[in-house]
Structure 1
Amino acid sequence: MDFLPIKRALLSVTDKSGLPELARFLVAAGVELVSTGGTRKLLEASGLPVTSVSDVTGFPEILGGRVKTLHPFVHGGILADKDNPEHLSTLATHNIAPFDMVVVNLYAFGKALEKKLPLPEMVEQIDIGGPTLLRASAKNFSSILVVPDPAFYPEIMDALAQNDMRAPLPLRQKTAAATFRQTSTYDDAIATYLANA
């Protein structure tokens, strides 16, 4: 679709700069916010209504936070092609609400590298859920707006404000391309580290 209405957003970020402003903008436009852990706490502390991912999945965060968003109620809502009636029917059958926007940035693996942490601690700095959310959203840019970096917040708020809270396809494709570049760089840093650790 050329213009995607933004009604429901998933936010889960390490870099929280600018997030309260973006979240306030979304809430003011009637967008439902869903979030995890520290991001959810920040949004709640900012006085914003937010639904916990655990409430969406019906399952708590487990394994010390390693498993939070890896669930069909999350990824089904992200990967559904909104132009495909069969996908929409599947969502309805399984009571999965679609997402329209995913705002995610990754654990700061580069900063962990600078600290020269021991291998087991470095392994814990490898983000799994974040890249999975980003790649799934970027793949499905025809049906979702992925936001991989706070640098995009002003452009996205401006575009949504100008288009009645609908994300234009060129913007979605642009952020999808940036997302794949970012996850590629992230994975390369991890691969280089592990090959030399």
Structure 2
Amino acid sequence: MKFKCIEVSKYTNSPEILNGRVKTLHPKIHGGILSKRNNKSHKKDLLKNNFHEIDLVIVNFYPFEKTLNTSSNHSKIIENIDIGGPTMARAAAKNYNDVAVITDP
């Protein structure tokens, strides 16, 4: 799509942990998505924490259904339950006046 992107771990200055299970569940991500643009308190919180507003969320979800249909490996199936991607999309939906979301299943 030719959007300039940055690795989440670089943006948050936090490494992925738990073998990649935790990547995007970070206040810098969700604060930037959920902050109301016309709320002075939200702006103050972002500034105080050196966070930035996020106006566009581009996220692809883990292929859970495909994995479920092609694998009988319980661990592999469980690891394809996406937590962070849908959480970011839902956060963007909650703040739909200010944040757009693009997904490609």
The TM-score, its normalising length taken from structure 2, stands at: 0.90
Determine helix, strand or coil for the equivalent of 2:66: helix
The answer to which structure has the higher helix fraction is 1
CA deviation digits over 1:109-149, x for unaligned, max 9?
11112113222221011111111111111111111011123
- Determine the structure 2 residue equivalent to 1:80: 35
1:59 to 7, 14, 29: 14
1:120 to 53, 72, 75: 75
1:133 to 77, 88, 91: 88
- Determine the structure 2 residue equivalent to 1:46: none
The TM-score, its normalising length taken from structure 1, stands at: 0.50
CA RMSD of aligned residues (A): 1.5
d(CA) in 1 for partners of 2:8, 2:75: 27
- Unpaired runs of 5+ in structure 2? none
d(CA) in 1 for partners of 2:92, 2:34: 7
Supply the AA of the counterpart residue of 1:62.
I
Quote the sequence identity (%).
46
Whose relative contact order is higher, 1 or 2, with alpha carbons under 8 Å and at least 6 apart? 2
Give the 4+ runs in structure 1 shifted more than 6 A.
none
Which structure has the larger Rg? 1
Count of aligned residue pairs for this structure pair: 105
Pair 1:106-2:57 in alignment: no
- Unpaired runs of 5+ in structure 1? 1-21, 27-32, 35-50, 151-197
d(CA) in 1 for partners of 2:40, 2:34: 13
1:90 to 42, 45, 63: 45
The answer to which structure has the higher strand fraction is 1
